[in-house]
Amino acid sequence: MSRSITLTLIGGPTVLIEYGGYRLLTDPTFDPPGQYQGSHSPVRHVKTDGPSISIAEIGKLDSVLLSHDHHFDNLDNSGRSLLPTVEAVYTTRAGAQRLGQNAIGLNPFETRYLEREGRERLIVTATPARHGPIGIDVGDVVGFALGTETSGDLVYITGDTLWFDGTAEVARKFSPRVVILHTGAAEPRGRFHMTMGSEDALEAAHAFPDATLVSVHNEGWGHLRESQDQLADVFAAFNLSNRLSRFEKGKPLTISW
């Protein structure tokens, strides 16, 4: 029996994931362009482009996968207002303490189950993330691996991270159909990357040889240094163009198998 998953890029790190009747949203950011600062971060972020779809157009969601709550380019004012409307917000332990309400904090490789009547239950596993070089403490971040008992591993969302031992361990434990890479080579403070650049994405391509790769969080913010087009050029230079699927804002991308 053929199966498919549909991804829609809202903008930045915000992706609508639809599979088996479930509708999940990653890192909600819906505010208009402007200068913003998160409540738990000294960093000011400049947003240069708004979302492709409004909150009103999103429709009913089952859950939010929030890599971290303390940076404005991963959870903004509008995104924060969305959180109480879903049953569960999966995030870091520290983030769940700050958010309260329906937030569920997970340690890396800790699992929860999302269940709805008439649907196969969805397995949600937190994955390790390191949001910058060793020694730079910007607070806890997680990624997520999604799957079901019958379909196996479905999606790996890296969250804001570089490629490191923790992401390599994800590749040893999971074989997802799709990998959503948080790229952009973010440089909010100094000349070092806080999210994946092309080198990290190439590591992921080799670590997940059977997965379709898409890249997000590479536009819409002033501190991002590498666009999706630039990343595609690097993949082409290494004869890997077939591994990276074009991900256009507001246009659903369906991956079937």
DSSP string, 204-240: HHHHSTTSEEEEES-SSBTT----HHHHHHHHHHTT-
- Across 134-220, the runs of DSSP E, i.e. the strands, are 142-148, 152-157, 178-182, 212-216
Non-local CB neighbours of 251 within 8 Å, separated by 6+ positions: 8, 9
Q: Which of 36-40, 71-75, 224-228 has the lowest mean pLDDT?
A: 36-40
Tell me how far apart the 2 most distant CA atoms of the chain are, in Å.
50
Share of the chain above pLDDT 70, in %: 97
Residue 73 buriedness (CB in 10 A; 0-12 / 13-18 / 19+): buried
pTM: 0.95
Are β-strands 142-148 and 122-128 bridged in parallel, bridged antiparallel, or unpaired? Answer: antiparallel
Domain limits, the chain: 4-246
At residue 212's C-alpha, the angle toward residues 140 and 63, to 5°, is 45
pLDDT digits (tens, 9 = 90+) for 143-198: 999 999 999 999 999 999 999 999 999 999 999 999 999 999 988 766 778 899 99
Q: Residue 87: how many CB atoms within 10 A of its CB?
A: 12
Most confident listed range (38-47, 114-123, 175-184): 175-184
Assign domain 4-246 to a CATH class. alpha beta
